[in-house]
Amino acid sequence: MRNLKIITAYRGTAYHGFQRQANALTVQEVLERCFSKVLNEPVTVTGCSRTDTGVHANMFCLNVKTGSNISCLGFTRGVNGELPDDISILSCEDAPVDFHARFDCKGKEYIYKMHCSESKDPFAPDLTFHYRRKFNIESAKKAAEYLIGRHDFKSFCTDSTNVSTTVRTIYSLKIENSGDSVITLVKGDGFLYNMIRIIVGTLIDVSEGRIAPDDMPHILEARDRMCAGRTAMAHGLYLNRVFYSEEEMFAD
Q: Supply the residues annotated as catalytic.
A: 52
49: CB partners within 8 A, 6+ apart: 18, 60, 102, 105, 108, 239, 242
Which ranges in 44-173 belong to alpha helices (H)? 72-82, 137-145
Question: Which of 55, 159, 157, 61 lies closest to 113, judged by CA?
Answer: 55
Measured CA to CA, the distance from residue 183 to residue 197 in angstroms comes to 13
Total number of residues shown for the chain? 252
- Cα–Cα distance between 165 and 171 in angstroms, integer? 18
